[in-house]
Amino acid sequence: MKVAPESAVQLGGRQLSRIIYTEEQIRERVDVLGEEISAAYSAEDDLLVLGLLKGSFVFLADLVRRVCCPLQVDFLVASSYGAGQVSSGRVRLLYDGEVRLTDRAVVVVEDIVDSGTTVNWLFPLLEQRGPKILELCALLCKERSVLDRQPRWVGFDAPGEFLVGYGLDSGEDLRHLPYIASL
């Protein structure tokens, strides 16, 4: 569904107030991020792209297809939200991938850095596994984020609204939208 950025949309009983980033804007930005990551690494870096599920899966799939150096992909599932729209402040690791991080270049891919709670909790855990390089690539980053480590790559600044689409959800719904909207 293509919608003008200024339009409100009703989807499954939920009101989207506006489109924040269009499908085209996202595609163009992901192209640039892919180029930047490709320029930063080579085959010798043994690149691992580590996606934080569930929200990052759409972004990660598009991003890795635009990276031109050899890489592997794995996933982690960490949660601080549950079904709510505000972080609980407690992070739980629900799934831990089994791929080796030691002496590798690892790029963690996150859909949105909101409060910073998940990233601040996760990065020390990953550092203990001995990666040669550990970087963060976030599709969206909210200004209110308080991070111990800043993302190397950010797709877009995120407004202080609850966002859905392009992998971002509300109670597991609306991930499928090809754009990012405010709920």
Catalytic status, residue 74 = no
Strand pairing category for 92-96 and 71-79: antiparallel
SS3 128: coil
Is the alpha carbon torsion for 123, 128, 48, 57 positive or negative?
Answer: negative
**Amino acid identity for residue 24 in this structure:** E
Strand pairing category for 71-79 and 47-53: parallel
Assess contact for 80 and 90: CB atoms under 8 A.
yes
Angle at 91 between CA 89 and CA 92, to 5 degrees: 150
Catalytic residue, from 114, 157, 169, 173: name it: 114
DSSP 8-state secondary structure symbol assigned to residue 1: -
Assess contact for 164 and 174: CB atoms under 8 A.
yes
**Amino acid identity for residue 85 in this structure:** Q
Catalytic annotation, residues = 114
